[in-house]
């Protein structure tokens, strides 16, 4: 649904070289700037980022733990290909956690975050009308994070983030038609409304429905980019 713009943006103070390489490589892998199946060389990346091999190696290991690259000892490192199976697994895990989040949100949801979520929906409406895909994706991510924080589940979101990457990578393939963002805004609104009403079952159903949108994108893209899939 979204690409990782949020965790990409803050070039925090004194970011280590390893963290910088990992952050930038991760973003490129998720938005498919680096193609699935492509070989990555420690030396080449090190030269490109003007650092030594060591921080690059640490970035590779971190990306391997996230399931984004495959480090084969003494052979090489490759960006893992897209996988419908892996995407469905990620969706399953994400839905499990986010459903639990909204269920808890129906019991207690901080008022400040409720207002923030509402204003984010407004901003999404604007971005959708303007056809601003990148902005919309960033706002989408912020909306989900806000739900987690409002329900006091910030830690749970970090667990979602890893899975989200595998969904975003597949979504980066789908062509973003102008009208595709509107329904998503409505779904966000339905989720927030249910939370405000404290209606757990409705909130769960709304979130589940929302996260099932990606299933519709699966059918149409397999053949067009077969070489990117395993």
Residues that bind DNA (CB under 7 A): 16-18, 40-44, 51-55, 57-58, 60-61, 71-77
172 binds, among a copy of itself, DNA, none (CB under 5 to 8 A by kind): none
For 143, what's the count of Cα atoms within 13 Å in the CB-facing half-sphere?
A: 27
The residues, ordered by sequence, that sit 6+ positions from 150 with a Cβ below 8 Å of its Cβ are: 105, 109, 110, 112, 113, 114, 116, 117
DSSP state of 9: S
Name residues contacting a copy of itself, limited to 76-95 (CB under 8 A).
86, 89-90, 92-93, 95
146 binds, among DNA, a copy of itself, none (CB under 5 to 8 A by kind): none
- The CA–CA distances, whole Å, from 99 to 53, 89, 146, 200 equal 41, 15, 14, 10
Q: Comparing C-alpha atoms, which of 92, 126, 115, 84 is closest to residue 192?
A: 115
Q: Which residues pair with 76 in a beta bridge?
A: 72
Give 42 or 168: the residue with its C-beta nearer to DNA. Answer: 42
17 binds, among a copy of itself, DNA, none (CB under 5 to 8 A by kind): DNA
Give 41 or 212: the residue with its C-beta nearer to DNA. Answer: 41
212 is a site residue for a copy of itself (CB under 8 A): no
Sole window of 58-66, 167-175, 197-205, 219-227 interacting with a copy of itself (rule: CB under 8 A): 58-66
140 is a site residue for a copy of itself (CB under 8 A): no
**Assign residue 47 a region: left if phi > 0, alpha if psi is -120 to 50, beta otherwise?**
alpha
Question: What's the closest the beta carbon of residue 66 comes to DNA, in angstroms?
Answer: 15
Question: What's the closest the beta carbon of residue 97 comes to a copy of itself, in angstroms?
Answer: 5
**How far apart (Å, rounded) are the C-alpha atoms in residues 87 and 225?**
15
């Amino acid at each position: 649904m979204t690409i990782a713009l949020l965790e990409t943006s803050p070039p925090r103070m004194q970011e280590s070289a390893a963290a910088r390489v990992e952050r930038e490589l991760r973003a490129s892998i998720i938005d498919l700037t680096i193609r699935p199946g492509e070989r990555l060389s420690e030396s080449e990346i090190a030269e490109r980022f003007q650092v030594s091999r060591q921080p690059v190696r640490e970035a590779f290991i971190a990306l391997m733990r996230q399931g984004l690259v495959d480090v084969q000892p003494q052979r090489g490192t490759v960006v893992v290909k897209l996988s419908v199976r892996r995407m469905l697994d990620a969706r399953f895990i994400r839905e499990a956690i986010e459903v639990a989040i909204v269920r808890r949100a129906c019991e207690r949801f901080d008022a400040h975050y409720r207002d923030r979520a509402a204003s984010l929906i407004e901003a999404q409406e604007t971005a959708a009308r303007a056809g601003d895909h990148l902005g919309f994706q960033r706002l989408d991510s912020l909306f989900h994070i806000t739900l987690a924080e409002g329900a006091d589940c910030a830690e749970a979101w970090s667990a979602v983030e890893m899975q989200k990457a595998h969904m975003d990578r597949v979504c980066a393939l789908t062509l973003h038609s102008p009208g595709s963002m509107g329904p998503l805004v409505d779904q966000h609104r339905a989720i927030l409304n249910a939370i405000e009403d404290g209606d757990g079952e409705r909130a769960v159903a709304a979130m589940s429905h929302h996260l099932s949108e990606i299933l519709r994108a699966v059918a149409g893209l397999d053949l067009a980019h077969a070489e990117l899939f395993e």
